[in-house]
Chains A and B, each alone.
Chain A
Amino acid sequence: MTITEHTTPEPPMNKRALEKQARAQQRNELSLSLPAFILVGSLVLVPIGWLFWLSIYGSDGFTAENYVRLLHPSYKKTLITTFELAFLVTGLCILLGYPLAYLASQLKPRMASLVLLCVLFPFWTSLLVRTYAWLVLLQRRGVINTWLMDMGLIDAPLKLVHNFTGTTIGMVHIMLPFFILPLYASMKTVDLSLMKAASNLGASPVKAFWQVYVPLTLSGLGAGVILVFVLSLGFYVTPALLGGGRVMMWAMQIERSMAVYADWGAASALGVVLLVMTLGILWAFARLTGALSSVEGK
């Protein structure tokens, strides 16, 4: 047999039958996702669509009133509080979580597992239990105040809960594992010989850390930051319990509009804005990291 030459073009054999079979196979494979799709479609896509509809369609037809109402000062306050808390919680997570992740990534496997276990333990403990723990710790006759007073450090109990402070403490506790875990994973992939190289080239340890190590962990850091920020924006349980009604978060506003005022217009408009904000931040982050990795030449 010689090289197969392209002779007079024959009609491709079995082409249609093969295509038909390929399509049938793809249909079968996709149909395995059908049950999950039906669930997610009917319980996520449809409701969100419905909410969106509710936010723009009132009793008199299409209206922008729900969104216009959001410019009212009380809503603005909610917005500011929500963002303040999100930024604060994220910042504290960075301050507390980065050093821990850094240390854990450098420990020997046994010690590292131990530290990770300490991070996973709150992760696996019920959110309510943890929030409750802080309620008990921070309240006026709670553990912290009692200790501080017994030790004579303070005369009157500190107002640690049912306010912004308590909410912040509780949220940081909830969010830290979400921050540490992706950061730790990213840190484990850092090639430490680069630090040796930096040292050899004349960088002091501090400089080497800021100029070589931190940039290398940027992707894990970014993921942790975005995750914590986005979660904090939409968070309900902890601010509701630890804020004592004084810390009005976005999610609480949504719940209140719905449960207390049955104001579907407001609830849905608030919800849509929250969703757009969340998706917008995630999308921006995705674009940014995409842009960054192309710059890094990955």
Chain B
Amino acid sequence: MLNKSATDTQVTHLQRLWLYALCTLVIFFLIIPTLLVIPMSFSDSRYLSFPPESWSLRWYRAYFSSAEWLQATAVSFKVAFLTMILATTTGTLASYGLHTTRARMGKYMMVLLTMPMIIPVILLAVGIFLTFAPVGLNSTIAGLVLAHTVLAIPLVMITVTAGLKNFDINQEMVARSMGASRPWAFLTVTLPQIRNSVLSGALLAFIISLDEVVIALLIAGGDKATLTRRMFLALRDEIDPTIAAISTLLIVFSVVMLALSQFLQSKK
């Protein structure tokens, strides 16, 4: 079997064995480190050995009994949820408007709205900190939501625009010819059909906000600290093993999100 040809240039599997080995290593490199955190979080010792010498749930208990960690978690999820709502609505509306308009401004606006993606986050963070200071938006939920929304809008727009490109705009035209005003046609005909793109974008917005570290580091202080900020500070100062438990929970959450997004993709 190893002598069977594997490519269009008649290279056999045997000759490509090194490639298979290398790729396997790379795949291991990609997923093993993250997965190792899971069993380590059940380790009883402070030094998180692998494999754990003794198993316990002490780090999970530490997390669930810590007011600060739970507060930070609540903040993170609240901000992520609100970001998802705000970014998805503003992004979807903008995508629709720019997709259908003939105005020349449309192209420039699209570039402008996707710009936050290419600007280094540290810059955005510093700038937003500066801008929020005089209006007291630093260390507030509202401020965080606004900042994260700006990060999420480009991705929502890219996703929704792709969905709109696959949508047959004739359907909206037919609906309008039958008597539907433009907003009504959008709501009853277009939106239900780009639903998967919009939901994908919403999911991305949620995850971006949840995972965001740099901006949260600079502007989310005090009791409005996010989970990411706490984790970062804890990691920088001393490796608190509770983080292993939190990480495991986050990993499970990520896998669920990934599965959801793949599901939505397959239904497009």
Contact = CB atoms under 8 A, between A and B. Distances in A.
Please say whether chains A and B are actual partners in one complex.
yes
Interface of A: 26, 29-33, 35-37, 39-44, 46-48, 50-51, 54, 96-97, 99-100, 102-103, 106, 115, 117-122, 124-137, 139, 141, 143, 146, 173, 176-177, 192-193, 195-196, 198-199, 203-205, 208-209, 230, 233-234, 236-237, 240-241, 251, 254-255, 258-259, 264, 267-268, 271, 274-275, 278-279, 282
A37 B210 CA distance: 23
B57 interface: no
A118 B262 CA distance: 13
B85 interface: no
B129 to A, nearest CB: 8
Given A133-B33, A254-B123, A279-B118, 20 more contacts: A30-B98, A30-B109, A32-B94, A33-B94, A36-B90, A43-B127, A51-B130, A115-B23, A126-B254, A128-B232, A129-B34, A129-B37, A132-B247, A176-B29, A192-B8, A203-B9, A230-B118, A234-B122, A241-B232, A275-B123
A33 B150 contact: no
A251 B122 contact: yes
Interface stretch (B47-55, B67-75, B164-172): B47-55
A115 B120 contact: no
B93 to A, nearest CB: 5
Interface string B1-45: 000000111110000000110110011011101101100100000
Contacts of A31: 97
Contact of B118 (A124, A251, A255, A278): A278
B152 to A, nearest CB: 10
Given A40-B112, A135-B239, A143-B50, A125 B250 contact: yes
B90 A278 contact: no
A236 B150 contact: no
Given A44-B115, A282-B118, A103 B20 contact: yes
Contacts of B20: 103
B194 interface: no
A33 B89 CA distance: 10
B33 A134 contact: yes
Interface of B: 7-11, 19-20, 22-23, 26-27, 29-31, 33-34, 36-37, 40, 47-50, 89-91, 93-94, 96-98, 100-103, 105-106, 109, 112-113, 115-116, 118-124, 126-131, 146-147, 149-150, 153, 157, 207, 210-211, 213-214, 217-218, 228, 231-232, 235-236, 239, 243-244, 247, 250-251, 254-255, 257-258, 261-262
8 contacts: A33-B98, A40-B112, A40-B150, A47-B126, A131-B235, A132-B37, A132-B235, A143-B50
Contacts of A43: 124, 127-128, 131, 146-147, 150
A134 B33 CA distance: 7
B94 A118 contact: no
Contacts of B116: 40, 44
Contact of B121 (A132, A143, A192, A234): A234
A32 B157 CA distance: 13
Helix, strand, loop or mixed for chain B's interface? helix
A259 B62 CA distance: 30
Given A126-B250, A129-B250, A30 B130 contact: no
A99 B19 CA distance: 7
Nearest to A170: B33
B113 to A, nearest CB: 5
Contact of A122 (B30, B157, B262): B30
A175 to B, nearest CB: 11
Max chain B CB contacts within 10 Å: which of A46, A102, A141, A143? A143
Given A47-B124, A47-B127, A205 B34 contact: no
